[in-house]
Structure 1
Amino acid sequence: MADRPLDDHEAFAAVFDAHFDEIHRYVAYRLGPDNAEDVVGETFLIAFRKRAQFDPSRAAAKTWLYGIATNLIGKHRRQEARTLRALSRCAPDRDTPGHEDRVVVQVAAESLRQDLAAALAELDQRDRDVVQLLALAGLSHEEVAVALGIPNGTVRSRLNRARKKLRGSLSLVLQEADRG
């Protein structure tokens, strides 16, 4: 499927069926469920219109679709940053049902969720794209490079810069928690 051109409707339909859910999850996480349907629809519309330009020797169809989706997400940068800032101000849900160990882990994760969202919002959009393609989409460094149309070394430097900023932001939060 990813090894052949997408110039016929059946090949494209197979790519759509294989990757729609994954691309939708990624976009929904990045932009929220309200915007996901439109962006994913536009992603596949653009892919369909440009299917003759798809080069299977350059990238897998999934990587190509992530690139299109990420470019569309870039058009929503201000909205994404506002959403992450709003998340950073929301109180975590303390009513987590389940086994005691799961509750402890969930409460710890929820207490950091606000701070992580705030730290992500402070990242440069290009660095945030790299982090989220790696963490949410599970793409390799090489696939992120292809999806974003940047060299592999640039992916690594953006990830390194983002890690340092996130580590610094979150270590301050943890230090404050230890003092409190």
Structure 2
Amino acid sequence: MDPDEDLLTRAAREPDAFEPLVDRHSTALHGYLVRRAPAAADDLLSEVWLQAYAHRSTFDAGRGSARGWLFGVARNVLARHRQAAARAADRPQPPADAAPGDPWHAVDARLDAAAVAPDLRAGLAGLPEAERELLLLVAWEELTPAEAAAAVGIPAGTARSRLHRARARLRDGLSATTRTTLTGDPA
């Protein structure tokens, strides 16, 4: 049996047997992570070792080497990191020139929201109740259209149609200034 495989197998019973694996494989795993996510490599390496240690009892020498298993853990950690980054990219981000801890982006966002709030309130008030409720369940409560449909007791297809209509009516009812503020694109 390979010494690493022996260490990993023993680590399930003897936690101290795990430490030599960290010493032996950290450089290679760090290099793997640096090539794929340079800015996050150090943090990801820490997560790799936490996950590997937590799941050390799942290692099966019959399925491959300890080194391969560790790179599999690294690959999974990297995949979760990329998924989280993709989700974060869907949320509004502060401008690139904003300093960390700079409160002005938040102040700007609140001022923009305050400026468009009356227009949005009027647009929402003008929607039929059924459309407004669906739109708010999706936008504020973060339900999927299918979940919102279940919440109001209608078929999912009907909910999607109503949501489409509600968004179109709301968009059409907003002033050009508000649409530009909300989307960043001229109307």
Normalising by structure 2, we get a TM-score of 0.39
Compare CA radii of gyration and give the structure with the larger one.
Answer: 2
